C-alpha cells in the first residue's frame, strides 16, 4: 500500500545550497515562479515513511538603502519527541541580488537522490527517526557602503520565543520598518510545528480475511479501485465437550468495511454481510444419521450491530493549479482527493437459532418460541443439540459461513469441532417414589410446579394391588360349594 503525505510549513526561506556538513553541497533544480509568493512556501513530501522531496520558494527584493540585512546561514534541526536535537542541516544562501526594488521568486527542488548523492544515509531520511523540524538562522545587519557589520543575531539554537524580542530591539533601533522585521522573523519556525510521525503499521489482518473490488474512481489524471473486505471470528463452543442429548452455544462476529463512499448511506452499508449460516449434524435419530449423514443448514440470528471507523487503504492525491489572468495576475490553488479515510467498520454479532422441542422433535427458529409451556413444548435456548443415543468419543463439525458484498462473493468459513462424552443418564439417581406422597421431605425447587407429573400416576401405580384386593373380596364372599363349582368349571370347560 502506497501512501503519499504532504507536510507544509509556512516559512520564507532564502536557500540555495544544503550542507550536512559545510563542505557538502547538495544538488538542486530551480525555475522562476511566475506568480506571487505561495501561501505555503515550503513543502516536504513523504512516501512510505521516508522524506523524498523538498520544494521551497524564495522571494528576493533588491535593497534601496545603504543599511541592509542578510542571512549568512540557515539551520534546519531535526528533533525527537522530547524536542532534543538529533541532527542539524546547515545551509547558506548564494543568490544573486535582484536590482533595487525588484522582486523575483524562485522555486527550488531537492530530491531524495540529491540528498543521497551528497552523502546522506537512507536512514537519515526516514520519518521514524525524527518527530519535528525547527528552522533558525544567523542574520547580519551591515552598511553596504562601508561593509561594516552593525549587528549579528541568531544561531542554530534560536527559537521564535528567544529571537523575536532580539529582532524587534536590534533591527528596530537601527531603523528597519515592520515589513523588514517580519521578513527576518520568518527565518525562525516554531518548535511546535511538528511533522506527523508515520502511522503505526496496521495490525495483521485475520487469517480468514476476504477482499474484493467494490468500485472504481477517477480524479483528473489519477484513477484506482475501491475495495471491500470482511473477516469473521467464532468463539470456542460452550461446552466444547458435550453430553449426548445436550447442546452447545457459539457466538459469531463478522466485520465488514468498504472504502467506496457510495456504499455508505450515513448509517449503514448498502452492501455488507447479508447473513451467516450454520451447518451441523441432525443426530436425534442416531441410526438414520449413521446411514444417511443427515445434516441441517440454518440462518444464524443477528442480535447486535456496532459501527467503528478506521483508515482503509488510505491514500491522498493532490493537484496544484496556476492561473495567469490576461492582465498578468497569477493565482494558485491546490485540490485534494482522499481515498480510504474514516471508513466505517460494521461489526455484527450472530447467535445460533432458538431451539424448540415438542412431540415431533427439535426445530430451530429466528425468534424465541412463544408457546413453551414446559409440559408439552420445551426449548428457548440458542444451542445446537445432539441426540441421546450417541456413543462416547464421537466428533462432529459445526460450520459457520458468512456471505455478502457487492457481488455476493465475499464471505468467510470457520469450522468448530464438538466431542460427545457421557450422557445425562449418568446424572440420574433412581429411587422408588410413592405417587401419593412423592416428596415426604418437601418439594425441591426443581420440582416445584411439576408435582403432577408424579401424583397423576397414582391410579396406574396402584392398579395391580387394587385388582388383587377386589378378587380377594369376591372369594371371601362366596360359599364353599360355589367355590368348588367355579374351580371345576375352569378346569374342564374354560379352554373348550
Higher pLDDT, residue 283 or 427: 283
pLDDT confidence of 6, banded at 50, 70, 90?
very low
- For the cut 60, the answer to whether the pLDDT of residue 27 exceeds it is no
pLDDT tens digits, one per residue of 66-76: 888 888 887 77
Q: Kindly report which listed range (143-152, 307-316, 463-472) carries the lowest average pLDDT score.
A: 463-472
pLDDT of residue 195: 47
Higher pLDDT, residue 254 or 10: 254
pLDDT of residue 119: 63
Q: Is-cis flag, bond preceding 160, omega within 30? A: no
pLDDT of residue 15: 33
Cell numbers for 477, please give them.
Answer: 364372599
Q: What's the rounded mean pLDDT across residues 308-332?
A: 83
Higher pLDDT, residue 14 or 491: 491
For the chain, give the mean pLDDT. 79
- For the cut 50, the answer to whether the pLDDT of residue 280 exceeds it is yes
- For the cut 50, the answer to whether the pLDDT of residue 425 exceeds it is yes
For 130, residues 6+ apart whose C-beta sits below 8 A from its C-beta are 78, 79, 80, 86, 87, 195
Q: What's the rounded mean pLDDT across residues 71-93?
A: 71
Report the b/e string of 130-159 with b at 16+ CB within 10 A.
bbbbbbbbbbbbbeeeeeeeebebbebebe
Q: Are 151 and 140 in contact (CB under 8 A)?
A: yes
Q: Are 177 and 107 in contact (CB under 8 A)?
A: no
For 174, residues 6+ apart whose C-beta sits below 8 A from its C-beta are 67, 141, 150, 151
Question: Which residues on adjacent β-strands are paired with residue 338?
Answer: 316
Q: Kindly report which listed range (136-140, 153-157, 206-210) carries the lowest average pLDDT score.
A: 206-210
Q: Which residue has the cell 378346569?
A: 491
- For the cut 50, the answer to whether the pLDDT of residue 155 exceeds it is yes
Q: What's the rounded mean pLDDT across residues 452-476?
A: 74
Q: Kindly report which listed range (190-194, 241-245, 401-405, 474-478) carries the lowest average pLDDT score.
A: 190-194
Q: Which of 42-46, 391-395, 429-433 shows the highest mean pLDDT?
A: 391-395
Amino acid at each position: 500500500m502506497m501512501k503519499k503525505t504532504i507536510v507544509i510549513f509556512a516559512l520564507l526561506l532564502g536557500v540555495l545550497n544544503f550542507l550536512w556538513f559545510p563542505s557538502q553541497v547538495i544538488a538542486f533544480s530551480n525555475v522562476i515562479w511566475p506568480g506571487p509568493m505561495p501561501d505555503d512556501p515550503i513543502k516536504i513530501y513523504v512516501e512510505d515513511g521516508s522524506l523524498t522531496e523538498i520544494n521551497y520558494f524564495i522571494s528576493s527584493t533588491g535593497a534601496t538603502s545603504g543599511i541592509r540585512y542578510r542571512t549568512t546561514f540557515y539551520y534546519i534541526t531535526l528533533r525527537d519527541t522530547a524536542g532534543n536535537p538529533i541532527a542539524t542541516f546547515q545551509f547558506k544562501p548564494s543568490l544573486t541580488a535582484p536590482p533595487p526594488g525588484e522582486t523575483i521568486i524562485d522555486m527550488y527542488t531537492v530530491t531524495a537522490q540529491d540528498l543521497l548523492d551528497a552523502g546522506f544515509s537512507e536512514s537519515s531520511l526516514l520519518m521514524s527517526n525524527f518527530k519535528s523540524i525547527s528552522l533558525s538562522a544567523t542574520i547580519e545587519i551591515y552598511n553596504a557602503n562601508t561593509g561594516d557589520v552593525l549587528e549579528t543575531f541568531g544561531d542554530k539554537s534560536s527559537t521564535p520565543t528567544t529571537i523575536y524580542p532580539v529582532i524587534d530591539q536590534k533591527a528596530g533601533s537601527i531603523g528597519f520598518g515592520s515589513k523588514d522585521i517580519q521578513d527576518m522573523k520568518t527565518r525562525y519556525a516554531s518548535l511546535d510545528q511538528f511533522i506527523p510521525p508515520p502511522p503505526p503499521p496496521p495490525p495483521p489482518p485475520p487469517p480468514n480475511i476476504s477482499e474484493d473490488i467494490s468500485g472504481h474512481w477517477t480524479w483528473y489524471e489519477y484513477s484506482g479501485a475501491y475495495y471491500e473486505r470482511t473477516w469473521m471470528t467464532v468463539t470456542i463452543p460452550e461446552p466444547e465437550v458435550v453430553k449426548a442429548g445436550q447442546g452447545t452455544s457459539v457466538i459469531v462476529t463478522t466485520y465488514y468495511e468498504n472504502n467506496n463512499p457510495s456504499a455508505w448511506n450515513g448509517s449503514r452499508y448498502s452492501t455488507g454481510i447479508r447473513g451467516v449460516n450454520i451447518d451441523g449434524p441432525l443426530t436425534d435419530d442416531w441410526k438414520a444419521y449413521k446411514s444417511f449423514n443427515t445434516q441441517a443448514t440454518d440462518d444464524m440470528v443477528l442480535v447486535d450491530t456496532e459501527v467503528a471507523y478506521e483508515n482503509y487503504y488510505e491514500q491522498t492525491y493532490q493537484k496544484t493549479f496556476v492561473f495567469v489572468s490576461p492582465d498578468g495576475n497569477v493565482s494558485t490553488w491546490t485540490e485534494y482527493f482522499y481515498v480510504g479515510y474514516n471508513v466505517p467498520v460494521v461489526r455484527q454479532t450472530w447467535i445460533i437459532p432458538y431451539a424448540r422441542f415438542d412431540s415431533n422433535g427439535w426445530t430451530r427458529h429466528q425468534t424465541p418460541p412463544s408457546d413453551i409451556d414446559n409440559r408439552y413444548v420445551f426449548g428457548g435456548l440458542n444451542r445446537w443439540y445432539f441426540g441421546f443415543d450417541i456413543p462416547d468419543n464421537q466428533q462432529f463439525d459445526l460450520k459457520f459461513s458468512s456471505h455478502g458484498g457487492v457481488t455476493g462473493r465475499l464471505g468467510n468459513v470457520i469450522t468448530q469441532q464438538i466431542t460427545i462424552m457421557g450422557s445425562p443418564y449418568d446424572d440420574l439417581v433412581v429411587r422408588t417414589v410413592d405417587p401419593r406422597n412423592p416428596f415426604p421431605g418437601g418439594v425441591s425447587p426443581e420440582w416445584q410446579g411439576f408435582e403432577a407429573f408424579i401424583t397423576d400416576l397414582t391410579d396406574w401405580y396402584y392398579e395391580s394391588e387394587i385388582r388383587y384386593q377386589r378378587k380377594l373380596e369376591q372369594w371371601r364372599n362366596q360359599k364353599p360349594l360355589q367355590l368348588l363349582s367355579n374351580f371345576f368349571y375352569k378346569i374342564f370347560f374354560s379352554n373348550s
